[in-house]
């Protein structure tokens, strides 16, 4: 499975870290990343232990349209934007593709591949709700970064991992995590 991870400019880079920490443990995945300029700033401001280059995956710049996942013919399976800002989500819903991340989102939609946006902003305006509706109708998945608490986790990383575990489930990857009813 080939998965591109986009990190947009929303606060919440911890979600990207937790997702990458888990994804690199699954054998057979081909991973790549694209990170916006604002995301780089947020990573520096929010985390001291998240160095995207340490994962050993190819990281593309926002303007590198030669990245394989910028074309449907490369047959990448998914793009997960984690965290996803309201601005990026609205860009996707309008069909704009002016950088690698937004181009790749358009590719996933047109190729009927997985596009998962881990939306991390609040409160919502009607513009955001309409964008979510448009993306959902186009085949994308809006996965708000809202942790669950029924697993009884107490530490912050475990609680936040309920979101990234859900993303992994949405990708169709067999994942060991808390299951309701167990």
In a domain, 61, yes or no: yes
Q: Does 68 sit behind a cis peptide bond, omega within 30 degrees of 0 on the bond before it? A: no
Q: End-to-end distance of the chain based on CA atoms, in angstroms?
A: 28
Find out whether 7 and 36 touch, Cβ atoms under 8 Å.
Answer: yes
Taking Cα atoms as reference points, which of 94, 68, 82 lies closest to residue 36?
Answer: 82
Q: What is the span of the domain harbouring residue 41? A: 2-144
In a domain, 161, yes or no: no
pTM value?
Answer: 0.96
| Token pair in block for residue 35 | 């990170």
In a domain, 13, yes or no: yes
Kindly provide the residue ranges of all beta strands, DSSP E only, lying in 26-165, ordered along the sequence.
Answer: 30-35, 58-60, 78-84, 114-119, 141-142
Specify the number of domains making up the chain: 1
In a domain, 157, yes or no: no
In a domain, 175, yes or no: no
For the chain (182 residues), the mean pLDDT of every run of 10, in chain order, is 96 97 97 96 95 97 95 97 98 97 98 98 96 98 94 90 96 86 72
CATH code for the domain of 30:
3.40.50.1950
In a domain, 173, yes or no: no
In a domain, 164, yes or no: no
In a domain, 179, yes or no: no
The whole-number pLDDT of residue 11 equals 94
């Amino acid at each position: 499975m080939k998965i591109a991870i986009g990190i947009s400019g929303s606060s919440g880079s911890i979600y990207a870290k937790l997702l990458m920490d888990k994804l690199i443990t699954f054998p057979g995945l081909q991973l790549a990343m694209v990170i916006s300029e604002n995301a780089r700033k947020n990573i520096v401001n929010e985390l001291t232990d998240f160095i995207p280059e340490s994962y050993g995956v190819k990281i593309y710049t926002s303007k590198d349209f030669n990245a394989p996942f910028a074309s449907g013919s490369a047959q990448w399976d998914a793009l997960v934007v984690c965290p996803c800002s309201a601005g990026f989500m609205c860009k996707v819903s309008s069909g704009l593709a002016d950088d690698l991340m937004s181009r790749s989102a358009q590719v996933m939609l047109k190729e009927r591949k997985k596009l998962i946006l881990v939306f991390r902003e609040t409160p919502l305006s009607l513009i955001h709700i309409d964008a979510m509706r448009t993306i959902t109708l186009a085949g994308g998945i809006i996965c708000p970064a809202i942790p669950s608490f029924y697993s009884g986790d107490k530490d912050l990383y475990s609680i936040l991992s309920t979101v990234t575990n859900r993303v992994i489930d949405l990708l169709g990857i067999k994942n060991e995590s808390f299951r309701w009813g167990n």
